[in-house]
Amino acid sequence: MEEKSPKINAVLSLELQMALDNMRNTLHFSIEQQKLEAKLHKARFDALLAEGFTDVQALEIVCKKPLYGQ
């Protein structure tokens, strides 16, 4: 495997740093999205129970069917 030039290494390092900075800057949005999706899963599970599904059936549906249509 050939060694990369110092310039290529510097570019790769900068690109990685930019990607990490972007992740840090958007982390709070990702966390908020996960919280909202959890609420959707819980509401869906509760709605299935209210319609007469058992806990096991409701959990299976929630786990197997995506939140957003495919």
Q: Work out the number of other CB atoms within 10 angstroms of the CB of residue 58.
A: 19
Summarize pLDDT for 11-31 with one digit per residue, the tens: 889 999 999 999 999 999 999
Cβ-contact 44, 60 below 8 angstroms: no
In the structure, what pLDDT confidence band is assigned to residue 41 with cuts at 50, 70 and 90? Answer: very high
Q: Please give the pLDDT value at position 27.
A: 97
The greatest distance separating any two alpha carbons of the chain, rounded to the nearest whole angstrom, comes to 65
Band of the pLDDT at 69, cuts 50, 70, 90? low
Q: What does pTM read for this prediction? A: 0.66
How far apart CA 14 and CA 19 sit, in angstroms, is: 9
How far is Cα 67 from Cα 41, in angstroms, rounded to an integer? Answer: 8
Vertex 17 angle, CA 14 and 19, to 5°: 110
